[in-house]
Amino acid sequence: MGAGPVGLFTVFACGMVGLRVCVLDALHHIGGQCSALYPKKPIYDIPGYPSILAGELVESLARQMSPFKPDIFLNTPTGRLEQSVHGWHMYTPQGTLNGRVIFLCTGPGAFTPKRPSIPGIQEFEPENVLYRIDDPSKFFGKHVVIAGGGDSAVDWSLLLCEQGAHVSLVHRRDTFRAQESSLIRLQNYLTTGKIKLFTPYQVMELKGMKGYLDKVRLQNDTRNSQWIPCDILVPCFGLEVQKSPFESWGIAMEAGMIITQPTTSQTSNSSIYAAGDCVTYPEKLKLIMTGFTEAVQGAHHLRRTHFSERTYRFEHSTSVGVPNMSQ
């Protein structure tokens, strides 16, 4: 459960020991927060990559797991769960999924983008109000209003400007919570007029015809307002994290995190494993590469423990290559 970077690598880790996997995620795309919030943000602590963009890391992980042909169910929140002598049964809108073992890679929890409280905003979703951008090149020549003051708002402003969009960045404060290098680039674009900045302003009203956005009204603290052209509105106000259902499953938790054995990734339920930012144990580090290690340790342990009818012997990938899952 969970199609973020750690979840994707868990598919690979399980595939390397000959196990078939299906993946569930509440979002409509893989990659978790790396895709939803900062696909163009560089990551510097992935082994073998001096620097890699978050979105590129997701793409690489997807290619890495592809030989194992996982069944992927997106836009599929966690459903009702039952355990029997044959394993686990998850009831979802797509049908019943069955498996011997559950591997939780849900990060801090299921999340959805925060929708700003602007009257009528849903009328313009998902065509003209976007919470995630898949193809920046489609915005060439468009008037794009980006609302927010964090990394996502600044990063999207820079990227879409470089793709030829007419970008207006709106923030309710004069200061931003973004990386210094990004803010330096932003200032350069503001100086040259390639990005228009509106602070301290908020988007208060949308106007358009037949569901197509035409302009937005901005208002500041003194209630001065102005209309600016807008084809696309991109609100960047973070994510709403939904409460974890795992406590009701009888899994030992601590401060909302799943307690695991650090060397096996096993939870208090012997057939449920977990890796990544959803777990805790002494000296746990919330890093992607830590989650990768937890995924591999868990895959080998569950293969040895729950599939004992098959011969198991640890081997390096350089010796065995990638298993043929079609056999």
Q: Is residue 134 a known part of a binding site?
A: no
Q: Is residue 25 a known part of a binding site?
A: yes
Q: Is residue 277 a known part of a binding site?
A: yes
Q: Decide if 29 contacts 85 (C-beta within 8 A).
A: no
Q: Is residue 38 a known part of a binding site?
A: yes
Where on the phi/psi map is residue 204: left (φ > 0), alpha (ψ -120 to 50), or beta? alpha
In which order are the strands placed within the sheet that holds 257-259? 253-254, 257-259, 279-280
Q: Can you tell me the distance from the alpha carbon of 246 to that of 257, in angstroms, rounded to the nearest whole number?
A: 9
Other C-beta atoms lying within 10 Å of the C-beta of residue 53:
16
Structure tokens at 24: 């569930």
DSSP states along 99-165 = ES-EEE--TT--EEEPPP--TTGGGGTTTTB-SS-S-GGGGTT-EEEEE-SBHHHHHHHHHHHHTT-
Q: Can you tell me the distance from the alpha carbon of 130 to that of 60, in angstroms, rounded to the nearest whole number?
A: 25
Q: Can you tell me the distance from the alpha carbon of 293 to that of 285, in angstroms, rounded to the nearest whole number?
A: 11
Q: Decide if 79 contacts 102 (C-beta within 8 A).
A: no
What b/e string do you get for 262-289 counting C-beta neighbours within 10 Å, with b at 16 or more? bebbbbebebbbbbbbbbbeeeeeeebe
Binding residues, by number, are 25, 33, 38, 111, 277, 318
Binding residues for FAD, by number, are 25, 33, 38, 111, 277, 318
